[in-house]
Amino acid sequence: MQHAKNLKEYRAELREALGDEFLRQAMDKFARFYPGARARAFAGMDVDGLIHEIAEAKDKAAARMDELYEAFKAKAEAAGVVVHLARTAREANEIIAAIAKENEVKRIVKSKSMTAEEIHLNHHLEAEGYEVTETDLGEWIIQLRGEGPTHMVMPAIHLSRYQVADLFSEVTHQKQEVDIEKLVKVARRELRPRYIEAEMGISGANMAVVETGAIGIVTNEGNARLVTTLPRVHVALMGLDKLTPTLAEGLRVLRVLPRNATGQAISSYVTWINGRNECASSPDGKKIMHIVFLDNGRSALARDPLFSQVLRCVRCGACANVCPVYRLVGGHRYGHIYIGAIGLILTYFFHGRDKAKNLVQNCINCGACKAVCAAGIDLPMLIKEIHARILDEEGHSAPSTLLAAVLKNRKLFHTLLRSAKLAQKPLASGGYIRHLPMLLAKDQGFRTLPAIAAKPFRDLWPRIRPETKSPRYRVGLFSGCVQDFVYPEQCVAAVNVVAGKGAALDFPLDQSCCGLPVVMMGEIEAAREVARQNIRALDPGKYDYILTLCASCASHLKHGYLKLLGDDPAWAVKVRQFADKVIDFSSFAHDVLKLGPEDFRKDGGSVTYHAPCHLCRGLGVKDAPRDLLRDAGLDYKPSEEEEVCCGFGGTFSMKFPELSAELLAKKLEHAEATGAQTLVTDCPGCVMQLRGGLEKKGSSMRVKHMAEILAQQIK
Ligand code: SF4
Ligand code: SF4
């Protein structure tokens, strides 16, 4: 759980987490293992098709939540089960405590349930005088430590065997060996009597199948079977979102859930419970069974056209497994009860704005979570949307209001950039700001920042504008503000690559920043206005392609503008036409111009590659850049984790410099390990981060934009 009241306190918590060496190693180990395990588990399966089917089925179920609840209740009650609906967390706690009281329960055993964590069930039952024991190994460990889970599937992943051995020694009053198998035996020995003594077992459930009235529980340890079998009372607690119309739909989720969670083809135990089972400890020989469905805002979510998709979540935890920020700081700092990308969103709805407001700013918008989500939820977009909602509810900060006002006014923005060029003079040399003001140096000193260029691209354009006779394509060039004012040479390089290949280039001067920075700051109205200005400047009717060398701009122009203006009747057609024509530089060079080995010189030296998040995941462009590097006579040496974020993330690197620095260090370590001379990428933001980091550490490795390396190699 994170309790920080403001961003300053939250950053202090993050620094503390970064100092936890074991946490870092454990997270890192799993993050490296997971992608391969997931890929192997899904080998030969149509993953995208399955995810699409799950998303569609879950959306339909969410729209019929009330009806499904009534139908399930009728089926389950016909089999002797009592079914309850709790509208709030408090109601759920009271219902469960009343069941315990009515059945003269003293001791309760529990298997893992995130819904129980959501309502702080243990806390409530313990306050009522019940003895509650968690029986999932990880959950028991964190219960003994008085902590919440740090991962939805692996709740104690942040702890070392040494810490667990110390904990178990304390609990058993006996020195325990630091041996995982032996520690598991200690847990088993300690927990077995609890199952036998307990009068009541509480479990979660992964699904409630309406057509049969059964619940399904997926576990790896088998403890849920003991919890639901031995005590005479069983209470299953689950969210209304777990209602599944048919068994076939439930089984489809089961095909994806363990594969996506931990890379297992199937979990060790799948338990189906349909009605009251035989139970020797119950007076009538049959178990007393209750199912409690929790609403706690779920029916309101089901009615929300944008956020209803969060009810698709099957709680696989994959969105945390791949999140570069979670990997650094763990679930206690990247979530409240629910963790990872979905946790950031659910925290706002289930635990309130105060708990969510720091968390949602800590998303770097890399898109890794969306790419693996078992239910196809657009997690980064929803996180940004919550950030914007919180700002609307609490008021926008002065810096973000100022940035929004400046970006909406292109002339003012560009005048300020030109003035900054003059102001930076005493601080800059060799293209870098060498002396950051003290205030900035403390946080931002992990990389050297670039200086504003002597002349922006827009001033160079009239002189370098190429004449193309009988062009095959009319191309509008969108530079984005970084390439226009900081790295104009990247645009010049692109002109040199493209000009002789049949493309008539145009660079309309009314274009401005793409607007992504204001989206990241939650300034949605300003983002809309900037989008309208750029669409006016680059009228899609005039071009076959709208070309940009910035992966982040490309992804925002193509997808972000549609989200901003797609529902506006005055802009819907235009924005779609615009988005259809947006193309990134590598795809344009590879797929449209079809540049191949015959277009390039040989022996250009060795290179490695960094795949910008917004290119490889935002636009799904993976092969074109690597093919170009090989075709361009370069010795391409793939680096480890090429598609993991470099830590730039625009305003993220300013707001969370300690996290940005860690991500950058890892990225550079992988790139340098290839032994390549040059690190190539497709985004000026990534160039800024990578080049600044290498410059700071005095590395001989160079960073080039794809356009620059192709311009160097083109015949
Ligand atoms: S977009 Fe990236 S940083 Fe944000 S939650 Fe998803 S994986 Fe984490
Ligand atoms: S949001 Fe998606 S990836 Fe994350 S836990 Fe839910 S289903 Fe899994």
Q: What percentage of the chain reaches a pLDDT higher than 90?
A: 86
Q: Which ligand is located closest to the Cα atom of residue 319?
A: 2
Mean pLDDT over 325-342 rounds to: 93
In the DSSP assignment, the letter for residue 350 is I
Q: What is the pTM of this model?
A: 0.93
pLDDT band at 422 (very low <50, low <70, confident <90, very high): confident
Residue 319 CA: nearest ligand 1 atom is 7
The residue whose CA is least distant from atom 8 of ligand 1 is 323
Q: Of all atoms in ligand 2, which is nearest to the CA of residue 315?
A: 5
CA of 363 to the centre of ligand 1 (A): 5
Query: Can you name the residues that pair with 584 across neighbouring β-strands?
Result: 548
Average pLDDT (645-661) is 94
What's the gap in Å between 262 CA and the centre of ligand 2?
12
Distance (angstroms) between ligand 1 centre and the Cα of 124 equals: 33
Render 250-304 in DSSP notation, one character per residue.
Answer: HHHHHHHHHHHHHS-SS-SEEEEE-SPPB-TTSTTSB-EEEEEEE-TTHHHHHH-
- DSSP label at residue 449: P
Which residue of 257, 308, 315 sits with most ligand 2 atoms within 8 Å of its CB, as the best mutation to test the pocket?
315
Probe target for ligand 2 pocket from 323, 377, 379, 386, with the most ligand atoms within 8 Å of CB: 377
The answer, yes or no, to whether residue 283 has pLDDT greater than 90, is no
**pLDDT confidence tier of residue 647, bands split at 50, 70 and 90:** very high
Q: How far is the CA of 617 from the centre of ligand 1 (A)?
A: 12
Average pLDDT, the chain: 94
Return the ligand number nearest the Cα of 322. 1
Spatial distance between the Cα atoms of 566 and 571, rounded to a whole number of angstroms: 7
Residue 55's φ and ψ, nearest 5 degrees, are -60, -45
pLDDT of 425: 78
- Is residue 99 within 6 Å of ligand 1 at its C-beta? no
369 CB near ligand 1 (under 6 Å): yes
Measured from the CB, is residue 164 less than 6 Å from ligand 2? no
The minimum-distance atom of ligand 2 relative to the CA of 317 is 5
Integer angstrom CA distances of residue 279 from 103, 233, 284, 285, 495: 15, 9, 8, 5, 78
> Looking at residue 469, what is its pLDDT?
84
Q: What are the angstrom distances between the C-alpha of 237 and each of 27, 184, 571?
A: 30, 27, 46
Q: Measuring from atom 7 of ligand 1, which residue has the nearest CA?
A: 323
Q: Candidates 359, 366, 555: which one to mutate for ligand 1, based on the most atoms within 8 Å of Cβ?
A: 366
- Helix, coil or strand: residue 202: strand
Residue 440: what pLDDT? 67
Residue 341 CA: which ligand 1 atom is closest?
5
pLDDT tops 90 at residue 399: no
Is the CB–ligand 2 distance for residue 375 below 6 Å? yes
52-108: pLDDT as tens digits? 999 999 999 999 999 999 999 999 999 999 999 999 999 999 999 999 999 999 999
- For residue 397, the model assigns a pLDDT of 86
Q: Residue 551: name the closest of 377, 423, 687 by CA.
A: 687
The protein residue with its alpha carbon nearest to ligand 2, atom 3, reads 373
Distance 365 CA to ligand 2 centre (A): 16
pLDDT band at 439 (very low <50, low <70, confident <90, very high): low
Cβ density class 311-330: b for 16+ within 10 Å, e for less: bbbbbbbbbbbbbbbbbbbb
pLDDT tier for residue 231 given thresholds of 50, 70 and 90: very high
Reported confidence tier of residue 429, pLDDT bands at 50, 70, 90: confident
DSSP for 83-95, please give it: EEEESSHHHHHHH
Phi-psi region of 675 (alpha: psi -120 to 50; beta: other; left: phi over 0): left
| CB-based burial label for 525 (10 Å; 0-12, 13-18, 19+) | middle
